[in-house]
A = this chain, B = another copy of it.
Amino acid sequence: MKLLEDAILTRGRVKDGDVLKVDAFLNHQMDVPLINELGREFHRLFGDAGVNKILTIEASGIGIACITAQHFGVPVVFAKKTQSRNIDGPVYTSKVTSFTHQRTYDVIVSQSFLGPSDHVLLIDDFLAKGSALLGLIDLVRQSGASIAGAGICIEKGFDVGGKLVRDTGVRVESLAVIREMRDGQVVFAH
């Protein structure tokens, strides 16, 4: 998606260790009009898939998921990264490793909000190693819900996550796919 690629090229920064910083518009400061266009594109891609719920994971995914949900007219559920006193009753649980924060979290979703009648679109900001998305897929499978697909803003096409997730049979649509980051420059896969 050219609008997102242009934002990455003009407002993103490449740091050591293949870290792409998009905190100016996507995951710390959020350019809401831009994200609304991403939501519109996710709806163009998945609008006929019968989605009745959007599932994401805190924190960066929540805003993107909520704005995308306005195009679908469906609720959002976000997986929480730690057991909270404020979650009561039975939950689905999986594990997600954050390579950014260098730790593994338990992620949970209340069983009240995901079940066999749900057809779920997964939304997240990044797909790199795939741990977060595989954790969400695990939660959906535990619930008996079905998966319409996964809408990703930025996929690191050189990393393993895209293949790992697609090998589970889940349709993944990434709005920007990075082939490589070379000498601080982002090269997109087209």
Contact = CB atoms under 8 A, between A and B. Distances in A.
A33 B84 CA distance: 26
B31 A86 contact: no
A190 interface: no
The interface centre, meaning the residue of A82, A85, A87, A113 with most chain B CB atoms within 10 A of its CB, is A85
Identical copies of this chain, number: 2
B113 A28 contact: yes
Given A24-B112, A113-B24, A69 B100 contact: no
Contacts of A35: 66
Contacts of A117: none
B32 A86 contact: no
Interface residues of A, number: 44
Interface string A53-94: 000001100110111011001111110101011111000000
A36 interface: yes
A107 to B, nearest CB: 12
Nearest to A86: B100
A30 B82 contact: no
Contacts of A102: 85
Interface of A: 15, 19, 21, 23-25, 27-33, 35-36, 58-59, 62-63, 65-67, 69-70, 73-78, 80, 82, 84-88, 100-102, 109-110, 112-113
